[in-house]
Structure 1
Amino acid sequence: MHNKAITLSIIVAFATTSFAKTGTDSVSITEISGPIPTDTTMTDIMLGEITVKAPRVLHKADMDVLYPSETAVKSSQNGISLLKFLMIPTLTVNELTGSVRSSGQDVEIRINGRKASSDQLQTIQPSTIKRVEWIDDAGLRYGDATAVLNIIVTNPSFGGSLMTQGMQSLNQAWGNGYADLKINHGRSQWAIGAVGRYTNHIDSHREYSETFTRPDDTAVTRTETPLGGYLSMTNLTPKMSYNYINPEKTVVWIGVNLNKEWPTVRSNTGLLSLSSGDGNIILHEKESRSGLRPKFNAYVEHNLPHSQTIALDIDTSVLNGRSVHDYRESNPYEDVITDVHTSIKDRQQNISIEGNYIKRFNDKRLTAGAQYSGSRSRAERESGSLSRQRQERAYMFSEYFQRVGKVSLTAGIGAQYSHISIGENDDTETSSWALRPRIAASYRLNNSSQFRLSLTSRTSTPTPSQTDTGIQQIDGFQYQIGNPDLYAYNTYSIKMQYNFTFPRITGQLDGRWNRAPHAIAPFMTWEGDRLVTSFENSRGHTSWQIALSPQVDIVPGMITAKGTIRLYTAKSTGTGYAHTFRCISGDASVTATYRGFILSASYESNPSTLWGETVSRSEQLSTIMAGYRWKGFTFIGGLFMPFTRYSMGSESLNRYNTNRNMLRSSGFDRMPVVQIAYNFNWGKQKRASQKLINAEDDMQQSTAAGR
């Protein structure tokens, strides 16, 4: 660890020295006297008939605001590809997988303030994106989100747009695509489209070994030699939406979609060898999940006199799904030793209602809101057992922002009430109250340096799988059962951040501390010949992380490179264990553009994390892509995993079951892909609807327990 600290110090010292030696900034920005309004929707400041354009990156007190350059817009075929050209230092975007992450965690995406998905981001015309708001320290109004990416777009008042895209592997049954049509008339816009992905029997295998230790310290080790396996995942989401805009007064947005997920399958076959020498075992294991989810969302926003806004958001959905786990052991003569089949049929209903009130002043802002979310779940097994669960949550908050000279202060508090009922007649009930204070401060030393500090908390509730009292058999002697006595827990966080903006070099240095005193985690016990996994509110989880994320304009307007290096340490304690884990992770990417030609390469070593007694090892990804844009067409070819082998997995540190599970896929390694996209739009431009708040149902499907 000492050597790691020295390495990081050298990197920081080198970066600081480089900054000091750099010349003056070539960008000239007109100074504006007087306070700038705190409304984040402002992009330009009108001075008579003169418009002062904002800089490419504007570091505000609570967010970074980025304005796409003309080169970035011309080089992008949709919203998600534009994010890559913005080169936000801590943001990692992968067009092949559709992932948008920061520090290894998924980023909450919003379009005009309305929560969206990366699939929806793909159907945005780059030319309609007015600015991007990057909030990597989300406030109370964003709930449990740790980072938020808000895309502010405009849309034609007359005419419309058509966007299509298809990506296909040249040697595997893998691909994705979308089609989206928007029609505008006056203050109304209609949109219809679909997004889909398919992965069909991609070759994969599992590297697996485990050691079982009984209470009397006798142990046996089983090592799995892979014989084969595959991955499959196919889904399709048709969607429709309508929005009405009465400028400066009222906005209405209504949307429906239907997500169909065909069985997402992970299948493995292996040869188990036992340290006891009892003979080899042929193992077949298969996990699958499928479902159908219709969803409806309605949003209304109305501006009142004296810079006041009220907004209401309603979101509801229904899930009908199935989760299946099959586990079979046999000897070389195909005599069955163990045969386990678990099938869970799910039905879940969810609704979320949220209302916000915002009052703006010259250098102040007051935000208050309330949210209710409720879910009903019913899980039925083929064996006939039935589990029912009801969860309700009420959340209220108020947050106040004020600027005082070079310092901006935010203070707020939220209160959350959680209630969980389990059983046909609410046989088991738990409820809890939790306060969620938040304090944040921002100080701008000069035009090149900004410091941020925040203290926050968030509340997490048990999932249906963690509280399900139905017994699930995993293999010959492993079982899982939920704990209905689990209760919600709080996570407390401190974040310190330094943003630097120097000529041709920008970036961020941040440190984070998280503490969850009663985090929910699995634990294992022997009950006779059975090894049973259940869940508990543990004695706590603590993590520390420090990250440096520089970005360099190698050739301004043509070649840009960025990267991140992270040091992560975590400690978890619970029944019979206390573990400490450390890792180094990072990512790097370079993008070059010239007269319609595009070249990009990326490498991601996502962070491994410790939770309870499990170390989760995230995906290791790399890509290289080259393309050309001609009129409305984009042609791209590239390789997935050109520099690394695809891998992701986990390790169990439990004293009774120590195992290592690593998934690899030869099908993804050096997989060639081609993409063709076509964009066409017509009509005049106007301001698009903005959705200031979002009510989102938190749907968690039951999962058949597996290894």
Structure 2
Amino acid sequence: MKRVGIVIICLILSFGTVFAQKIKITGKVVDGSMDKAPFEYANIVLQTSDSVFVAGVSTDVKGNFQLEKVQAGNYRLVISAIGYTDLIADLAGLTGSIDLGELVLSEAAEQLAEVTVTAANIINQADRKIVFPSQKQLEASTNGINLLQALMLPRIQVNPLTKSVGLAGGGTVQLCMNGVKVSTEDINALQPEDILRIEYLEDPGLRYGSAEAVLNYITRRHETGGSVSLDLMNSPHIVFHNDAVSARLNHKKSEFSINYRTSPRDFYDCWRSNEEVFHFEDGTSLNRYEKGKPGHLSELNHGGSFTYNYQEPDKYQLNAQLGYWGYSQPHTDYRSDLYNVEYPDHITDMQDYTDQATHRPFIDLYYQQELKNKQFLALNLVGTYIYTDSKRSYQERQDGNLLTDIFSGVTGNKYSVIGEGIYEKGFEKGRLSAGLKHTQAFSDNTYAGNLEYKTNMKQADTYLYTEFQGKWEKLNYTLGIGVTRSWLKQEGEEGYQTYTFRPRFSLQYAFTDHFYARLNGSLVNNPPALSELSAVEQMIDSMQIRRGNPALNPYNRFQTNLYMEYRKGKVSVGLSSLYQTNPKAIMESTFIENGMFVHTYRNQDGFQYFNSELNLRAGMLWNILQFSLSGGVNRFWSDGKDYRHTYTNWYYRAEMMAQYKHLMASFTIYNRRNGFWGETMSSGENLHMLSAMYKYKQIAVGVGMVNPFADNYKRINENWNKYVSSIKETYVNESSRAFFLTFAWNFQFGRKYQSEGKKIWNQDTDSGVMNTSK
């Protein structure tokens, strides 16, 4: 028996050794110069979490290193060289091989990129977090979007249903791939095996415009060969699909890529309820209620792009992209019983049908050049055409008699050209960047129906900026200044020309290796939308009109944000607080004219917004589970010429993900995160989703359900105007307990090398057409 026990123990130890041998840690070390030359003979030391030596190697002549036969556990990786700042990364919960990609060693005199350790698989640099996905997170993902969901980064929120990316506290997230701004569809087409790391810029600079955060995916690139991927999400009992296909082909320095995505919806059990109270000048009022009946909602989002990229590594790059995005909504058909609350038996049959479509082809040309002495130059030119066709039919009938018959239609054509150039220069103790961006747009819209108009508008915006980023002891700082010239001319109307200064600052202080705080502030100019400036009016119903206002002027937005984060081991806690004020903000204005209630836009007194949010993240726990919990409050103050409103919204969000071998499961739940602007409250979603997936090698299959514990789905809009107040609820019954299936297939062939990417990307998405829906 003793011999049998010894044999069993030996077998167990042998199996453990076999599995340990499978774990490798690889990467490439380069110096901090603009050329990023391979760093020869840098010291690579692997330690336990309490600094006990495990293994050590040196980089080869190409800067590459490899640590083999590493057992699963918690480690610190230290990269060092004489005269350079040590680079340290914690690798907690290491269970599989990991490629750390390109790691930059900076000269000790260059304090800007000094590194501090804050968490497992995350390196904090002066201007960004560098996130290395673990092997388990890569295994739990089929594309770049659900990998982001698995990472559960602070403040980043992923909608698993629409595969959109948002930011806690509001604001926009700019997605990039190797430095170029790309669409969600491009990230969704990324195969997890091609992702080396994600650079998370929580405080992006002036050249990123209005983006509150930037996620930059650093990827591998095939030297020869390529890849193909298929990602499907379909419901077997309703028309609800999110499908995507993409392919890449490489030959030497050239890369060809194509992707296409389609998201059709077709629902027959949707309706709205709407209660409106009209207050007339003589002191009387009318309370109308709209009781909805099942209607039809049909829409299609689809689009794709073809891209050619030619690259001479570390020297220059040429990128050309031809793309198209289309949106079609042939049916938004609402039918309701309309009646006065005082006389519920006198029912009017109401129909409100909308049919709209948008087509947006574009071409994007980009060139970048690496220059001597840590200099860099990038140029970008984008041309866009937007065609819009929208029709609306509104009718009220009583006892077969037609009481109200309103038809409105608009066709719009918009042409725009965006050009931008960026120059950067690195110094010993900082980096200077400067840029110039110009937008030229032309639009003409034809409004037909009960009221007919033609508009012709020309718009130009020029933005010049410069920014310096540096470090003083434990304080990282960024100081920037920009100036914007905005010009608009509408045929038959007076235009405007304004100049605005756009200062910006950011201060980040590291109190310890685990705790830091960041304070930033900015001033941004907000021009009016072309649809708001249109010298047109359109009827909403028998009592209401929507009208544009050519007299609108741009307004400024002042914003400051304080963020604090404590991160140690597998747990992180973050607290963010944001305050924003918008003097002379463009908000809605309603008044009575000739017995009609007119809804228009006006430069009001101002708008203020405050948000505070606490986020807790933990994982991987027991090498199986990770979760994220967040909660916060929104507070709004809206000051108009004849109104003042305040509104408070409390919200929460929870995400949990578990993985065991090839099986993954996730659960997401959040309540309504509401917004307020002018006199209107717009609700967010009240949603939860449960899903499970089995992945084996290149194929993954899964199941899920939307709102499994709820029997209805609705969005709420409230208007608090003193003349016309309303509460509108829109229901889509098919969005409750909706069952779906997922399938993903990723196929790769050829060798890989890490690619560089373009640094700027521009696109025009504003059609300039007025919305006349109720």
TM-score (norm 1): 0.92
Q: Pairwise mapping of residues 95-106 of structure 1 onto structure 2 (< 5 A)?
A: 95-103=160-168, 104-106=170-172
What letter corresponds to residue 492 of structure 1 in structure 2? F
Aligned position for 2:42: none
Equivalent of residue 288 in structure 1, options 351, 355, 358? 355
Provide the rounded CA distance (Å) in 2 between the counterparts of 1:73 and 1:42.
Answer: 15
Q: 1 CA distance for matches of 2:223 and 2:505?
A: 41
**Partner amino acid, structure 2, of 1:28:** R
Match of 1:116 among 167, 170, 182: 182
- The question of whether the paired residues in 1 share the 8 Å contact of 2:156 and 2:165 is answered with yes
In the alignment, residue 417 of structure 1 is paired with which amino acid? R
Partner Cα distance (2:229, 2:297) in 1: 29
1:345 is matched with 411
Aligned to 1:395, which of 463, 470, 483?
A: 463
Does the Cα contact within 8 Å between 2:267 and 2:732 map onto a contact in 1?
no
Alignment of 1:56 onto 2:121? yes
Corresponding residue for residue 364 of structure 1: 430
The residue type equivalent to 2:297 in the other structure is: L
Whole-angstrom CA distance in 1 between matches of 2:724 and 2:289: 13
Give yes or no for contact 1:342–1:704 (8 Å, CA) kept in 2.
no
SS of 1:71's partner is: helix
Match of 1:496 among 562, 569, 574: 562
Residue among 74, 86, 90 paired with 2:139: 74
Report the alpha carbon displacement of residue 238 of structure 1 after superposing the two structures with TM: 3.3
Where does structure 1 lack aligned partners over 5 or more consecutive residues?
Answer: 1-22
Distance across 2 between alignment mates of 1:100 and 1:362: 36
Whether the aligned pair in 2 keeps the contact of 1:37 and 1:362 (CA below 8 Å) is no
Q: Residues 539-554 of structure 1 correspond to what in structure 2 (within 5 A)?
A: 539-553=605-619
Within 5 Å, give how 1:286-365 maps onto structure 2. 286-331=353-398, 333-365=399-431
Distance change (3 Å), C-alpha of 1:462 and 1:539: same
List per-residue Cα deviations over 1:111-151 (Å, max 9, x = no partner): 12212111111111111111112223332111111222221
Alpha-carbon distance in structure 1 between the residues aligned to 2:523 and 2:504 = 7
Cα distance, 1:259 vs structure 2: 2.1
User: Counterpart of 1:71 in structure 2: which amino acid?
Assistant: K
Measure, in 1, the Cα distance between the counterparts of 2:330 and 2:154: 33
**Distance change >3 Å, CA 500–CA 31, structure 1 → 2:** farther
Q: In structure 2, what is the equivalent of residue 639 of structure 1?
A: 705
**Larger radius of gyration between Structure 1 and Structure 2:** 2
Instruction: Check the 8 A contact 2:78/2:86 in 1, yes or no.
Output: no
Cα distance per residue 1:362-385 (max 9 Å; x no partner): 441111000001111111022452
Q: 2:498 aligns with which of 420, 425, 432?
A: 432
**Which letter maps to 1:307?**
K
8 Å CA contact retained: 1:173, 1:202? no
Q: After TM superposition, give the deviation of residue 236 of structure 1 in Å.
A: 2.5
Match of 2:292 among 213, 218, 226: 226
Deviation string 1:171-202 (CA, Å, 9 cap, x unpaired) is 11111211111110001101123111101234
Q: Does 1:584 align with 2:650?
A: yes
Distance in 1, matches of 2:137 and 2:296, equals 38
| Per-residue CA distance 1:21-48 (angstroms, 9 max, x = gap) | xx9895424375866599xx9842469x
| Aligned residue pair count | 677
- 1:91 matched to which residue of 2? 156
TM-aligned CA distance change 1:32 to 1:508, over 3 Å: farther
Counterpart for residue 618 of structure 1: 684
Task: Please name the residue that 1:44 is paired with.
Answer: 103
The one-character-per-residue Cα deviations of 1:198-220 (angstroms, maximum 9, x if unpaired) are 01234211121111111222111
- Cα RMSD for the two superposed structures: 2.2
Partners of 1:24 and 1:280 in 2: CA distance: 76
Give the whole-Å Cα distance in 1 for the aligned partners of 2:103 and 2:757: 17
| Distance in 2, Cα, partners of 1:242 & 1:699 | 26
* Pair 582,59 (structure 1): closer, same or farther in 2 beyond 3 Å: same
Partner letter of residue 535 of structure 1?
Answer: Y
Contact 1:344/1:704 (CA < 8 Å) preserved in 2?
no
Q: 1:209 aligns with which of 275, 288, 291?
A: 275
Q: State how far apart, in whole Å, the 2-side matches of 1:499 and 1:668 are.
A: 36
SS of the equivalent of 2:502 reads strand
Deviations 1:333-387 (A, max 9, x none): 2211111111000101111101000112344111100000111111102245211
Identity across the alignment (%): 24
Supply the AA of the counterpart residue of 1:699.
D
Q: CA deviation at 1:669?
A: 0.3
Alpha-carbon distance change, 221 to 36 in structure 1, aligned in 2, over 3 angstroms: farther
Q: Deviations over 1:621-651 (max 9, x none)?
A: 2211101011211101000122444222211
Q: State the match for 2:641 in structure 1.
A: 575
Per-residue Cα deviation, 1:57-95 (whole angstroms, up to 9, x for no partner): 122233222111111112211111110111112111123
Distance 1:701 1:639, change over 3 A: farther
Counterpart selection for 2:333 from 259, 267, 272: 267
* Inter-partner Cα distance in structure 1 for 2:428 and 2:163: 39
State how far apart, in whole Å, the 1-side matches of 2:139 and 2:626 are: 16
Shift in Å, 1:701: 4.2
Mapped contact 1:113–1:694 kept (Cα < 8 A): no
